[in-house]
Structure 1
Amino acid sequence: MIKFGINKQFRDQNFLFGVGYIRGAAFDDFPIHTHGFTELVIIMKGRGSHWVEGSTYQIVPGDVFVFKGEQAHGFKGIRGAHMVNLSFVPSSFPPVPEEFKTLPGYNALFTLEPVYRRQRHFQSRLSLSRGQLTFVENLVMRMESEQSACPPGWREMLKALFLELIIYLSRCYEGIQGGEELRMLELGGILSFMEGHYAERLNLPKLAKRANMSVNNFLRVFKKASGFTPMEYLLRLRIGGACTRLLASPQRIADVALATGFNDSNYFSRQFRLVTGLSPREFRRSPKAQEIKAGLFLGKLSSRKA
């Protein structure tokens, strides 16, 4: 299996973002591969088959997929395809504003679907209309032009255009009316609520009630969709909030703990080490702090307490 690394994918190692717009692609088999970065793929024209982690699915114009890191995938029987491929390293580019994580559509597309799609056989995915594709194509062509010509301020313009695209796709997802995508959107709304209220006293019954589910059903659906139990996810949100505070200010560890939902600073420090591998003080001094923060939701927890 081929693995595409960061060094070969990005021409500027200080700006880990790339715009690829493949026009009129035709190939019988694009080999199965993984990569050390995230891909946002949008099918503009054409049809074919997409192999993802052991299963094959048909792709059509308007399909939007997000692939994170080590997810193996490839293409077969592609004819006349126009495909947008935006590659980026979340820990380096762009720094997605925390407010984005309060958007149900963002959580559905970028957080839940990459985990959920294999379990649901691609029944859940964002599919854009012709008008929506036209808007997206105009954005991508502007991004392509900035990357090619490199005028003054091109990096900042690329960041701005990409963030606009993320918001637009999130809004498109929120316009979905039914099907498996609606379930993703509903769960995305729960993630948004947790993102905005993680420092409060949240528990399974309260979250299940908000989702209009029984506790057992909510626990099952949440774990299947996100890869985490609700309490595991909540703990990582709190640790993520603590990471932000530790890097942004000289606040005392005890104050950071209280501000992010921990009443006991010693318990906070133990949980912080279990999740990140470092104490809060070590994290503050670590040159890999941003990378650690970006990877909070990529692995499993050692502890399930929150």
Structure 2
Amino acid sequence: MLECKTFTASNSGPVTNFPLHVFWREPQEDTLEHQHAYVELVLILQGQSVHHYNKTSHPVMRGDVLVVAPGTAHSYRNSSEDFAIVNIVFLPDRLPIPLIDVPLLPGFNAVFHGRDPDGGKCPFVHLPEEDFLEMKKLVVQLHHDDETRPSGYRFSMLGTFMMMLSRLARIYSHEQGRNPQIFLHINGVISYLNRHFKEPCPLSKLCQVAGMSRATLQRNFLAATGTSPRQYQLQLRIAEAMTLLRTSDKTVDDIAEELGFGNRNYFSRQFHKITGKTPVYVKKNIEHF
């Protein structure tokens, strides 16, 4: 039996430096079974192939979009000579982007985390030609910034990726026709966290906001956002910390106190866990962030 190779952030080159990259594969030949330690969003540019994923298979063609979750084995087989794809690889927990209300879209988990609501399946959607051409334009811009790296390219890439994420989540939501009621139920909780993330937000308070029990809130919140309320709040704090480190004269201690971390050491550990860098490193290397 062939070994399933795992590609991680450490052995995938540039993914370590910035948690979002684009790889143009033209042509894309057949591959051995492999898996990744990051999310891989794939746009099929032309040609045909058979995508094998988690012991299932599905034919793919121009206009298809696939999302491969971390740790899931997949491969391409029986590819046509003109088969071409674009791989957008990213680490969700390290992307410094404000998700705000996009987790309310039923298709968000599928596109951002590679989690299909049916479980075990590869999130998949076929784009109508008009949507495909618009998506390709965004991918071309994303790839150009990643390759040429002009001043401010990280900011530009994040903006482009956010546009892609929202469009794909909407399209996927529409295609799946899922009941959005569960997401509406926790809308108040997400809005509350977005406004009060610097303050203590105990689960008991969030249960009051949602009108749910602890177990129901945690289950519904996970289904809507792919994470827990506590982790969601932490991600908001880290995103704000990154902004303050880049744009203000505040010290690391000041930022830790302002964002409710209590002390510098705890703040630094959590910041490093999500971004892969320390606050001090970011502060000293502002031009790279």
Label 1:276 to 1:163 Cα distance change in 2 as closer, same or farther (>3 A): closer
Find 2:23's aligned residue among 19, 22, 38: 19
Task: Tell me if structure 2 keeps the 8 A contact 1:146–1:157.
Answer: yes
Find 2:86's aligned residue among 84, 87, 99: 84
SS in 2 for 1:116: coil
> What is the identity, as a one-letter code, of the residue corresponding to 2:169?
Y
**Structure 2: stretches of 5+ with no match in the other structure:** none
Length-normalised TM-score, structure 2: 0.62
Deviations 1:121-149 (A, max 9, x none): 2375555333211212234346667888x
CA distance in 2, matches of 1:4, 1:227: 23
Cα drift, residue 228 of structure 1: 4.2
CA distance in 2, matches of 1:240, 1:72: 28
* Matched residue, 1:285: 280
Label 1:166 to 1:63 Cα distance change in 2 as closer, same or farther (>3 A): farther
Cα drift, residue 286 of structure 1: 4.2
SS in 2 for 1:102: coil
Cα drift, residue 217 of structure 1: 1.9
> What is the identity, as a one-letter code, of the residue corresponding to 2:87?
N
> What is the identity, as a one-letter code, of the residue corresponding to 2:75?
F
* Matched residue, 2:233: 234
What are the residue-to-residue correspondences of 1:217-296 with 2, within 5 Å?
A: 217-223=216-222, 228-242=227-241, 244-246=243-245, 248-251=247-250, 255-261=254-260, 265=262, 268-269=263-264, 271-272=266-267, 275=270, 283-286=278-281
SS in 1 for 2:121: coil
Label 1:12 to 1:243 Cα distance change in 2 as closer, same or farther (>3 A): closer
**% identical aligned pairs:** 21
Q: Which moved more, 1:39-48 or 1:189-198?
A: 189-198
Task: Tell me if structure 2 keeps the 8 A contact 1:106–1:166.
Answer: no
> What is the identity, as a one-letter code, of the residue corresponding to 1:102?
I
* Matched residue, 1:304: none
Cα drift, residue 48 of structure 1: 2.1
> What is the identity, as a one-letter code, of the residue corresponding to 1:121?
G
Deviations 1:43-88 (A, max 9, x none): 345352332xx443536454434557x5343224344444221346
SS in 1 for 2:201: coil
CA distance in 2, matches of 1:251, 1:185: 37
Length-normalised TM-score, structure 1: 0.60
SS in 2 for 1:140: helix
Deviations 1:202-255 (A, max 9, x none): 343554576675542221233466664322432443355345435654435664
> What is the identity, as a one-letter code, of the residue corresponding to 2:100?
T
Task: Tell me if structure 1 keeps the 8 A contact 2:39–2:114.
Answer: no
> What is the identity, as a one-letter code, of the residue corresponding to 2:197?
Y
> What is the identity, as a one-letter code, of the residue corresponding to 1:163?
G
What are the residue-to-residue correspondences of 1:195-210 with 2, within 5 Å?
A: 195-200=194-199, 202-204=201-203, 207=206
Label 1:111 to 1:35 Cα distance change in 2 as closer, same or farther (>3 A): same
Label 1:112 to 1:260 Cα distance change in 2 as closer, same or farther (>3 A): farther
Cα RMSD of the aligned pairs, angstroms, is 5.1
* Matched residue, 1:73: 73
CA distance in 2, matches of 1:83, 1:147: 16
CA distance in 1, matches of 2:124, 2:179: 6
Label 1:248 to 1:163 Cα distance change in 2 as closer, same or farther (>3 A): closer
Aligned positions, number:
271
Find 1:102's aligned residue among 100, 103, 119: 100
**Structure 1: stretches of 5+ with no match in the other structure:** 295-306
Cα drift, residue 102 of structure 1: 2.0
* Matched residue, 2:215: 216
Deviations 1:149-203 (A, max 9, x none): x6xx767679736732531441342353454595797699665763454124534
> What is the identity, as a one-letter code, of the residue corresponding to 1:166?
M
Label 1:269 to 1:115 Cα distance change in 2 as closer, same or farther (>3 A): farther
